[in-house]
């Protein structure tokens, strides 16, 4: 996804290297050599720069992000299924607990310009939105996080004090990841733990799209570090990754399984259902997104024996790029309604979208190019909470 004005950037190839599940996945536009032919993948970028359509992506031909990992609700069991952010829960298999209510937290791109609101608190008042995903946390000096979130803590804390909830997303399609500046798991855990201490944010997402941070060494380091921080700070951990229409590409599974092997409890696997390639104009995107969800659901059940249908759906999240995507695709209001209906029917664990600043009529800052009024997409997606 974009950061500070565009995520699109030329990172389609990097995305494709993101954590992946198995050989059942299709190839991304960047050409994941181990994946079968399929729609391309895309990613959320943290790169600065203006994108004409303002859509989140790691580049043209990108599809979504998907990761595999058990989810579930409140006390996680030994299988790696984790709690789902306080949503009502039901008992799950292998000691896991599955969420029974969809969470909804659209991306809030810190520093992005918009005419619809001027702060998180203003957004909360005008849209009635009480949960957001902050984009993005990147590398600071050495082995540390940058100041993107800390510089906006007054607004974030005021939002939380008024009943809001924030997730902090680490990574994205561009920019240096925190783990690239840390020599080992212990120092990386220290950097993440310091971020938690300084911000008070414990709901953390890891949007792993770039090639380097997806190496075996980096995946192992990240998994071990997250286990340390989860044990000491009780953080919630989710992954956001790229997906094809027929499932997750081949590499992300190593990212996810490294975390699971380290003992990390994963709350959600959020797939980026966007930028599937230059399809003919007018192509409905929701059916493709739903195909991605169905395929990833099957992969998760295969990767985690004993996972029930309910647990697998509760683990999954979906992130479309509203309106005009980086390529010819347009995620319309009708697509938003169809995806929301699917989420309600299947008790999907999480819905987000890129991004709330774009959910406005065009005028100031980026826009979806398809809103008839401010927050049109939000008004549809929030129905999943009902």
| Interval 193-225: pLDDT, tens | 999 999 999 999 999 988 889 889 999 999 999
**3-class SS of residue 142:** coil
**3-class SS of residue 72:** coil
pTM: 0.79
For residue 187, the model assigns a pLDDT of 98
| Cα dist from 371 to 109, 133, 224, 342, 374, whole Å | 18, 21, 43, 22, 6
**Which residue(s) pair with 61 in the sheet?**
none
Contact 167, 132 (CB under 8 A): yes
Contact 309, 334 (CB under 8 A): no
- 12-385 is classed CATH 3.20.20.80: yes
CA atoms of 150 and 144, how far apart (whole Å): 12
| Cα dist from 32 to 94, 103, 298, whole Å | 33, 31, 20
**3-class SS of residue 111:** coil
Q: What residue ranges do the domains of the chain occupy?
A: 12-385
CA atoms of 28 and 245, how far apart (whole Å): 9
Token pair, residue 365, equals 């800052």
Instruction: Identify the band that residue 347 occupies on the pLDDT scale cut at 50, 70 and 90.
Output: very high
| Mean of pLDDT values over 118-136 | 97
Percent of the chain with pLDDT over 90: 60
For residue 141, the model assigns a pLDDT of 98
DSSP states of 280-300: PTT--SHHHHHHHHHHHHHHH
């Amino acid at each position: 996804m974009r950061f500070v004005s565009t995520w699109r950037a030329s990172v389609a190839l990097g995305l494709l290297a993101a954590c992946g599940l198995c050989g059942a996945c299709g190839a991304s536009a960047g050409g994941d050599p181990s994946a079968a032919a399929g729609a391309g993948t895309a990613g959320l970028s943290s790169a600065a720069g203006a994108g004409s359509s303002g859509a989140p992506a790691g580049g043209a031909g990108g599809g979504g992000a998907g990761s595999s990992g058990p989810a579930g609700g409140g006390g996680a069991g030994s299988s790696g299924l984790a709690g789902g952010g306080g949503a009502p829960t039901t008992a799950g298999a292998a000691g896991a607990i599955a969420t029974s209510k969809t969470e909804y937290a659209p991306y809030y791109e810190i520093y992005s310009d918009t005419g619809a609101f001027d702060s998180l608190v203003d957004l909360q008042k005008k849209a009635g939105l009480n949960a957001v995903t902050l984009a993005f946390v990147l590398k600071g000096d050495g082995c540390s996080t940058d100041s993107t979130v800390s510089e906006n803590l007054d607004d974030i804390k005021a939002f939380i004090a008024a009943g809001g909830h924030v997730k902090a997303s680490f990574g994205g399609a561009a920019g240096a990841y925190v783990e690239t500046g840390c020599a080992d798991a212990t120092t990386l855990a220290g950097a993440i733990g310091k971020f938690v201490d300084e911000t008070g944010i414990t709901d953390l997402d890891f949007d792993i799209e770039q090639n380097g941070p997806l190496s075996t060494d980096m995946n192992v380091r990240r998994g071990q570090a997250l286990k340390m921080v989860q044990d000491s700070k009780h953080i919630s951990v989710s992954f956001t990754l790229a997906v094809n229409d027929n499932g997750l590409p081949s590499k992300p599974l190593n990212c996810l399984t490294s975390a699971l092997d380290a003992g990390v409890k994963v709350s959600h696997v959020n797939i980026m259902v966007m930028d599937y390639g230059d399809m003919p104009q007018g192509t409905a995107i929701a059916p493709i997104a739903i195909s991605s969800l169905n395929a990833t659901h099957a992969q998760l059940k295969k990767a985690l024996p004993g996972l029930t249908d309910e647990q697998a759906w509760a683990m999954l999240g979906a992130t479309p790029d509203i309106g005009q995507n980086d390529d010819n695709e347009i995620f319309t209001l009708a697509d938003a309604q169809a995806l929301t209906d699917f989420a309600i029917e299947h008790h999907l664990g999480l819905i987000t979208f890129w991004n709330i600043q774009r959910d406005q009529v065009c005028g100031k800052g980026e826009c979806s190019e398809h809103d008839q009024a401010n927050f049109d997409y939000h008004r549809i997606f929030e129905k999943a909470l009902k």
